[in-house]
Amino acid sequence: MDEPVPKRRLFIALRFPETTRQTLVKAEDTVVAFADKARPMLPQNLHLTLAFLGMQDEQGYNRACEALKATAAQCHTVKSTLGEPGVFPCHHQLIVWEGLEKNENLKHLQSHLTEELTQRGFVLEQRPFVPHITLARSVRLKKDQSVEELKQRISAVLKPDQSTHTHLYLMLSHRVDNVLTYTPLVSEPLLD
């Protein structure tokens, strides 16, 4: 009898080139310097989530691959430009992120992906899509610092940066040597 395949925590994302990741690491360094506590993302983990799928078995993995392929076959390469930083409150702490400028192609890609996933039985979060790159989690600012000051400092270190995204990625969220790691499992090329 075959052993059941363990469930895996999956999401679909766009990844960034090394030059953009280096720029984002400077923003992370700013967050760390400005906070009493912060858990910055590893440079290789920096990404833009398009859809969070949660824990999935082999069947869910296969359906996600189908949706990824169908979306990529109908959507074009996306260019993204870093925008304004922001925060999400989370259990008396903050998640600090870098936003992207408004982008109709990105919005279309995410919308199309959502449709393909929904058709395949995935139940997705109903929150509006806010394109962002998480810089740090569990952030607690120093007592004399404000969120507005932090956002101004992040903006000051970020140079205008545009990325070209040529692939969609199915990502695995897991721990490697007790370190949160995001590993690409499958990539599908977008149309030129």
**3 within domain boundaries:** no
CA distance 148 to 127: 24
SS3 117: helix
Number of domains in the chain: 1
pLDDT score at 74: 97
Q: What is the DSSP letter of 43?
A: G
Look up the CATH number of the domain holding residue 138: 3.90.1140.10
Q: Give the residue from 97, 86, 104, 9 showing the smallest Cα distance to 51.
A: 9
CA distance 95 to 53: 20
Structure tokens belonging to residue 162:
């545009």
Q: Give the residue from 162, 144, 145 showing the smallest Cα distance to 96.
A: 145
Rounded average pLDDT per 10-residue block, the chain, 192 residues:
79 96 96 95 97 97 98 97 95 95 96 98 92 97 93 91 96 95 98 93
**1 within domain boundaries:** no
Q: Which domain holds residue 64?
A: 8-189
